[in-house]
Structure 1
Amino acid sequence: MLPANIELQLDKQAIRQYIEKRLDEEVREVFFLIDLKKMSELLCMSERYITDELLHDPRIRICEVRRNRKRWWKYKPLIQAIEEIVSEW
């Protein structure tokens, strides 16, 4: 019987990216409300740009929830509205 010699080469960078992507997808499913800071982080846009370009759109305003002076947005409808707006650009 011949001894088996198996070499396995793993791309650690690709594995890390895949794991981070899957974790990010799972975390996004957990969000219910997000604030402007988190929206900026997820969209890779500045808070000022989001405020000037997106938040005045009626599709975004529908998703807004206010309490006193704090604002949040419902995550799932917000993402759908942003996809519509961005596809129009």
Structure 2
Amino acid sequence: MIASKIEIQIDEKAIQEKFEQKIEDTLAAQIWFCDVERLSLLTGMSKRFLEENILNHPYMKAIERKKSRKRFYKASDALNVIDEITREW
């Protein structure tokens, strides 16, 4: 049997850069407010489905914030309320 030797070289700088990029991506994902478009992306539900089944619910109306005709929701509250609404199904 032939003895073999394996050497592994680790590029610490590349690992550090990848780690920092992952942290930045995670922090960017922490959103404060969201609109119907963002809720659609976060939940995987279509805008039409959200309008018909979620956004007209009294719980969602309670956390809704409007500016002109644009509706916003505090992201953490909205996801918690959607969780509550869908538990009722």
**Cα distance change of structure 1 residues 60 and 28 upon mapping to structure 2, 3 Å threshold:** farther
Quote how far apart the aligned CAs of 1:54 are: 0.3
Give the Cα–Cα distance (whole angstroms) in 2 for the partners of residues 54 and 26 of structure 1. Answer: 27
> Where does 1:46-61 land on structure 2 (aligned, <5 Å)?
46-61=46-61
Amino-acid identity (%)? 25
Secondary structure class of the residue paired with 1:45: coil
What TM-score comes out, normalization by structure 1 length?
A: 0.67
Taking the TM superposition and a 5 Å limit, the aligned residue runs for 1:1-80 are: 5=6, 23=25, 26-29=27-30, 31-80=31-80
Q: TM-score w.r.t. structure 2 length?
A: 0.67
What are structure 1's unaligned runs of at least 5 residues? 8-19
Which ranges in structure 2 are unaligned for 5 or more consecutive residues?
9-21
* Residues 27, 86 of structure 1: alpha-carbon distance in 2 compared, 3 angstrom cutoff: farther
Structure 1 runs of 4+ off > 4 angstroms?
Answer: 2-7
Aligned-residue RMSD, C-alpha:
2.7
Name the CA distance, whole Å, in 2 between partners of 1:69 and 1:36.
12
The size of the alignment, in residue pairs, is 74
